[in-house]
């Protein structure tokens, strides 16, 4: 089972849904809130490590992150790995979307996929965009996909 933590390493207590709901309730008292969800991965030998970030942005006041990581020895092609990243992000977005809708919090799904065809990750660009938008979510890719490209990336380097 995956567990979630803050960037400091402090483990979140309770179910993710409940923690996120309590976070939203506290934050919307003071800030306009937006949430971005993204996943990145890194291959290290025969192991692939995935990290998913839930980024809470306080309009004009910074933000904070909840993170989850796991490792697998499943071999992936570059395209499969990119789609797995998107799938992990969508799984979390789908679980939490009722909260975002209930509390009118804007949400985006970020894909660590380059829109420029000269980069390897571009092989999954169209599929990732279709997957995310087909679920009804706002899609962001590099260079605008900071939740995956910068936030999740920090813990799988």
Residue 78: predicted pLDDT: 93
What CATH number was assigned to the domain covering residues 5-156?
3.30.420
Residue 114: predicted pLDDT: 86
Quickly state the pLDDT bin for 157 (edges 50, 70, 90). low
With a cut of 90, say whether residue 81 has pLDDT above it: yes
What pTM did the predictor assign? 0.93
Residue 2: predicted pLDDT: 82
Quickly state the pLDDT bin for 117 (edges 50, 70, 90). confident
- pLDDT tens digits for range 16-66: 999 999 999 999 999 999 999 999 999 999 999 999 999 999 998 999 999
Residue 121: predicted pLDDT: 84
Quickly state the pLDDT bin for 1 (edges 50, 70, 90). low
Work out the angle at residue 134's Cα, subtended by the Cα atoms of residues 137 and 119, and round it to the nearest 5 degrees.
Answer: 85
Give the residue among 40, 39, 28, 53 at the shortest CA–CA distance from 106: 28
DSSP state for residue 31 in the 8-state scheme: S
Residue-wise DSSP of 76-124: --HHHHHHHHHHHHHHHHHHHHHHHHHTT-EEEEEEEEESSTTSGGGGG
Give the residue among 35, 93, 43, 78 at the shortest CA–CA distance from 59: 35
Q: Are 2 and 51 in contact (CB under 8 A)?
A: no
Q: Are 107 and 93 in contact (CB under 8 A)?
A: yes
- Per-domain residue ranges of the chain: 5-156
With a cut of 90, say whether residue 79 has pLDDT above it: yes
Quickly state the pLDDT bin for 147 (edges 50, 70, 90). confident
With a cut of 80, say whether residue 155 has pLDDT above it: no
Quickly state the pLDDT bin for 122 (edges 50, 70, 90). confident
């Amino acid at each position: 089972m995956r567990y979630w933590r803050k960037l400091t390493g402090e483990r979140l207590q309770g179910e993710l849904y409940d923690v996120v709901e309590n976070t939203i309730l506290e934050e919307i008292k003071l800030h306009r809130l937006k949430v971005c969800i993204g996943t990145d991965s890194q291959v290290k030998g025969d192991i692939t490590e995935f990290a998913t970030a839930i980024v809470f942005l306080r309009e004009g006041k910074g933000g904070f992150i909840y993170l989850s990581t796991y490792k697998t020895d499943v071999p992936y092609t570059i395209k499969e790995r990119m789609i797995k990243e998107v799938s992990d992000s969508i799984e979390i977005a789908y679980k939490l979307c009722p909260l975002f809708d209930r509390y009118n919090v804007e949400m985006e799904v970020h894909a660590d996929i380059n829109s420029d065809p000269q980069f390897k990750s571009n092989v999954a660009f169209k599929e990732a965009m279709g997957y995310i938008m087909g679920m009804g979510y706002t899609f962001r890719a590099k260079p605008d996909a900071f939740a995956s490209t910068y936030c999740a990336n920090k813990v799988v380097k």
